[in-house]
Amino acid sequence: MSKLKGGCMCGNVKYTSDSEPAMTAICHCVDCQKQSGSALSIVVALPEDQISFTGELKLFVTSGDESGKKINRYFCANCGSPLYSAPDVMPGSIFLKAGTLDDTSWLKPEMEIWCASAQPWVSIDESLPMFPGNPPF
């Protein structure tokens, strides 16, 4: 895969990474639902030390409705676009919001996580591995 690049809606925050994604997933957790304003969030997991950001990021910390662990959520200070989450349950990993990637043509979710919180009207792809909460890492 080529270098990952992306950023926020207004262009003030950009990121790049040469790292291969550790995983891509469809997340149904309540926190992602609230942050995305939708039923789910598509995320790309990367090692935290393998990505660089430019621009001003703001931090909002949640308690993780289901996990009870802190989730650091980063977004653009100007336009408010959510960019990534860094959950305490997976130290050293970040979860990019896939919609912020410049090129999503390669993206194919490999699993569905937090399925226990999925909206009842959302279809879950039963051909993918499914986890009621976090995947076992």
Listing DSSP states for 104-121 in one string gives: -TT----EEE-GGG--TT
Sheet architecture: strand order including 41-47? 57-62, 71-76, 82-87, 93-97, 41-47, 23-27, 111-113
Query: d(Cα 124, Cα 7) in Å, to the nearest integer?
Result: 28
- Residue 19 forms part of a structural domain: yes
Tell whether the model's pLDDT for residue 13 goes beyond 90.
Answer: yes
Top pLDDT among 40 and 134 is at 40
Which residues have a Cβ under 8 Å from the Cβ of 105 and sit 6 or more positions away? none
pTM metric for this prediction: 0.87
Query: d(Cα 101, Cα 16) in Å, to the nearest integer?
Result: 10
Q: What is the CATH number of the domain that holds 22?
A: 3.90.1590.10
- Residue 126 forms part of a structural domain: no
- Residue 130 forms part of a structural domain: no
Query: d(Cα 11, Cα 137) in Å, to the nearest integer?
Result: 34
Top pLDDT among 31 and 25 is at 25
Give per-residue pLDDT as tens, 78-115: 999 999 999 888 889 999 999 999 999 999 999 999 99
Which segment of 26-30, 69-73, 110-114, 117-121 scores lowest on mean pLDDT? 69-73
* Per-residue pLDDT at 93: 92
Calculate mean pLDDT across residues 44-53.
94
Calculate mean pLDDT across residues 125-130.
93
* Per-residue pLDDT at 88: 86
* Parent domain of 52: 4-117
> What's the number of domains the chain is made of?
1
